[in-house]
Amino acid sequence: MIGNLFTEAVLVGILASGIRLATPYLYAAIGETFSQRSGVLNLGVEGQMLIGAFAAFFVSFTTGSLWLGLLAAIISGLLMGLAMAFVSINLQAEQGISGIGFYLFGLGLSDLLFQKMLGTVETVSGFRPIYIPYLSDIPIIGDIFFNQNILVYGAYLLVVAAWFVLNKTTIGLKIKAVGESPEAADSLGVSVARVRYFTVILGGGLSGLAGASLSIALLNVFQQNMTSGLGFIAVALVYFGGWRPFAVMGGALLFSMVNSLQLWVQVLNIPIPSDFAVMMPYVLTIIALVITVQRVRPPSALTKPFERGH
């Protein structure tokens, strides 16, 4: 039965769904990369994703417009990001703990709204794969890379954009300066608070989008706690990728491929208990963290609040 895994159709299926499943990781982890690069650890990603997933699903379901759903997810994520920014920048709250608070808030609120406003598990017809002339027709490659929905393409474009912003623009330079040495950035006239507000709110919006990619593009349902730790894994991926967008993408792909393999193992009835298959990404995260902390250094000011005149 293990042999079933090694047919062409199955391998193409595993790779194609691996590319697709990386989408939520990418949006959330790239957003988190921005906020951590500026020195803020946003642990509320999971909660922001849940709120985003619900907003996207509910608005799409009631209005019939996926685009309005997407917009709702982004706005709700931005608002959650704004709250996180205020708490960690102005009130200088311990980021590890306040993030858990935002997680619980998002978990409870999305569940509450789901039960009050939907009541039962419904489905929407989410974003469909887009046919790209010529590219989609290439055998194997076309099926793996160019038969995906718009949010998948968007996620990979976002990685390139994030690399460009962080490394080739002034705002990228400011973000990195604020995350490495806020005092120096401040003395050069950069507003530490403004830069951090920007990155944390951006991260919130992207987390909302990550939630939407689950509820209206990949799974097309909303269920309570549907992210099941995905947002926390995304935070770990930022460490794993050493705060660099392309390396973060590499980590996201590694995880989504493991996830995809795990799903196919279940589909093909290969006798590995599904509980252990589901467990794999979490075990892998811990191993990945052990390996990476040895060679990369986090931004110096990560989790450290900044106050002028100290």
Residue 190 neighbours by CB distance under 10 Å: 18
Residue among 103 and 127 whose Cβ is closer to other proteins: 103
Instruction: Give the list of residues 6+ apart from residue 107 with CB closer than 8 angstroms, or none.
Output: 46, 47, 50, 225
* Interface segment toward other proteins; rule CB under 8 A; list 1-9, 52-60, 111-119, 177-185: 111-119
Stretch of residues binding other proteins (CB under 8 A), selected from 138-146, 160-168, 203-211, 280-288: 280-288
With respect to other proteins, which residue has the nearer C-beta, 150 or 193? 193
Measured CA to CA, the distance from residue 248 to residue 57 in angstroms comes to 27
- At closest approach, how far in Å is the CB of 79 from other proteins? 14
Angle at 304 (CA atoms; ends 301, 305), nearest 5 degrees: 120
Confirm or reject binding of residue 91 to other proteins (CB under 8 A): yes
Binding flag, residue 141, other proteins (CB under 8 A): no
The reply on whether position 239 binds other proteins by CB under 8 A is: yes
Least distance in angstroms from the C-beta of 39 to other proteins: 15
Nearer to other proteins, 24 or 47 (CB): 47
Per-residue exposure over 218-229, b if at least 16 CB sit within 10 Å of its own CB, e if not: bbbbbbeebbee
Site map (CB under 8 A) of other proteins, residues 194-233, x = contact = ------------------------------xx--xx--xx
Vertex 103: Cα angle to 293 and 178 (nearest 5)? 50
Candidates 79, 109, 219, 257: give the one binding other proteins (CB under 8 A): 109
Candidates 245, 101, 231, 254; CA nearest to 168 is 245
Residue 66 binds other proteins, judged by CB under 8 A: no
The amino acid at 50: L
Q: Which of 5, 82, 100, 270 binds other proteins (CB under 8 A)?
A: 100
CA angle 169, 92, 196 (to 5 degrees): 10
Strand partners, 123: 221
Regarding 164 and contact with other proteins (CB under 8 A), the answer is no
The Cα–Cα gap between 109 and 105 comes to: 6
Cβ neighbours for 133, distance < 8 A, ≥ 6 positions apart: none
3-state SS, one letter per residue, for 72-136: HHHHHHHHHHHHHHHHHHHCCCCHHHHHHHHHHHHHHHHHHHHHHHHCCCCECCCCCCCCCCCHH
Q: How many residues bind other proteins (CB under 8 A)?
A: 47
DSSP state of 220: -
Nearest to 77 by CA among 57, 116, 47: 47
Told to check if 157 binds other proteins by CB under 8 A, we report: no
Taking CB under 8 A as the criterion, the residue among 18, 47, 182, 251 binding other proteins is: 47
- List 11, 12, 79, 107, residue binding other proteins (CB under 8 A): 107
Least separation in angstroms between CB 286 and other proteins: 5
By CB under 8 A, tell whether 103 contacts other proteins. yes
Q: Which residues bind other proteins (CB under 8 A)?
A: 43, 47, 83, 87, 91-94, 96-98, 100-109, 111-112, 115-116, 224-225, 228-229, 232-233, 235-236, 239, 273, 275-276, 278-279, 282-283, 285-286, 289-290, 293-294
